[in-house]
Homo-oligomer: A and B are copies of this chain.
Amino acid sequence: MPLGANSWGKSRVRVSKVLRGDPTDDILDLNVDIQLTASDVDVAHTEGDNRGVLPTDTMRNTVYALAHSRLGNDLEGFATVLCDHFLEREQITSADVTITANRWDRQSDQGFTGGSSEKRIARVVRGSDDRLSAGIEGLVVLKTGGSAFEGFPRDRYTVLPDADDRILATSVTARWDYSSKPADTTAAWDRVRQTLIDSFFSEWSASVQHQGYLMGEAVLAAVPEVERISFQLPNQHHLPFDVTRFGVEDTGTVFYPVPEPYGDIRLTVER
């Protein structure tokens, strides 16, 4: 039976890149979707002959390899670079590249808050174990400097290298209890939120745990009614993707934002 329209590609290639400035960095956080058509892939469908089927794994590698030298704020430009690269292969008849960039809003030279569904939480329990608490969910923060993770213990399954400078990104979930109700609960909440942001971006940390403790300490110092604050801080890893195996120079600026698994850090700071 006749084969009709067909194409193949790789979807949701996640790539982030730090555009280093002095002192101001930019961050790109992208999904790349690629679809190709070719003149020699009919037999792949009808007879299982793969001689024309460029692996989608290769398409992914290509994105990371070219991102080092060619990716900047001109996303349409980078999409064109990718299209032209694939079209160099003679049998490829068309390339369709869509780049979807997540939004990050600058908060400091190396600090950004991410597009997300940020929520304010208020919780009241009455009748037994009375409780007045508040919280925030989905406060997405990322910094391109001011964070390390080294000096940790190693066992036979440890391969993680020490990092004295790294991207640190998390989505802050915090809940705090009030010892007494603030006169203005909205103003109190705003102050907690701003303190979390300021602390995350201004204070160097040795780990997510350390960063969380500093944030908690800052909130307790800033808002006297807060009795304790608990955090859940997923470590949204941005890992280097090894391109040196392709003979590409690693510029130290291109990363793979890992969707899962994630480090899952929980702590409480009290008065």
The answer to whether A83 touches B270 (Cβ under 8 A) is no
Complex Cα spacing A235 to B55, Å: 11
A120 within 8 A of B: yes
* Contact A123–B98 (Cβ < 8 Å): yes
Q: Is the CB of B3 within 8 A of A213?
A: yes
Of B120, B127, B271, the residue contacting A94 (CB under 8 A) is: B127
Interface set, chain A 5-64, CB cutoff 8 A to B: 5-14, 33, 35, 37, 41, 44-58, 60-62
Cβ of A220 under 8 Å from chain B: yes
Cα distance A237–B225 in the bound complex, in angstroms? 38
A156–B244 Cα gap in the complex (Å)?
Answer: 11
Contact B94–A118 (Cβ < 8 Å):
no
A266 on the interface (CB 8 Å rule)?
yes
Number of interface residues of A (CB under 8 A): 128
* Residue of chain B at shortest CB distance from A235: B56
Copies in the assembly, this chain: 4
CB pair B259–A44 under 8 Å, yes or no, is: no
- Partner of A76 from the list B92, B115, B124 (CB cut-off 8 Å) is B124
Most chain B CB within 10 A, of A14, A245, A247, A260, is at: A260
Residue from B49, B55, B61, B228 in contact with A4 in the complex, judged by beta carbons closer than 8 Å: B228
Q: Please, which residues of chain B bring their CB within 8 A of the CB of A209?
A: 6, 8, 41, 44-45, 53
CB of A2 closer than 8 Å to a CB of B: yes
Q: Give A201 Cβ to nearest chain B Cβ, in Å.
A: 17
Is A230 interfacial (CB 8 A cutoff)? yes
Interface centre among A47, A54, A80, A213 (most CB of B within 10 A): A213
Measured in the bound complex, the distance between the Cα atoms of B175 and A76 in whole Å is 13
A52 close to B3 (CB less than 8 A) = no
- Give A residues with C-beta under 8 Å from B: 1-14, 33, 35, 37, 41, 44-58, 60-62, 65, 73-80, 82-84, 87, 89, 92-103, 115-129, 132, 134, 137-138, 149-160, 178, 181, 184-186, 205-207, 209-210, 212-213, 216-217, 220, 228, 230, 234-235, 245-247, 259-271
Other A-B contacts than A60-B261, A79-B123, 13 sampled, CB-CB below 8 A, are: A8-B266, A44-B207, A46-B210, A50-B152, A58-B159, A74-B184, A94-B129, A95-B127, A96-B123, A97-B124, A100-B120, A103-B120, A157-B246
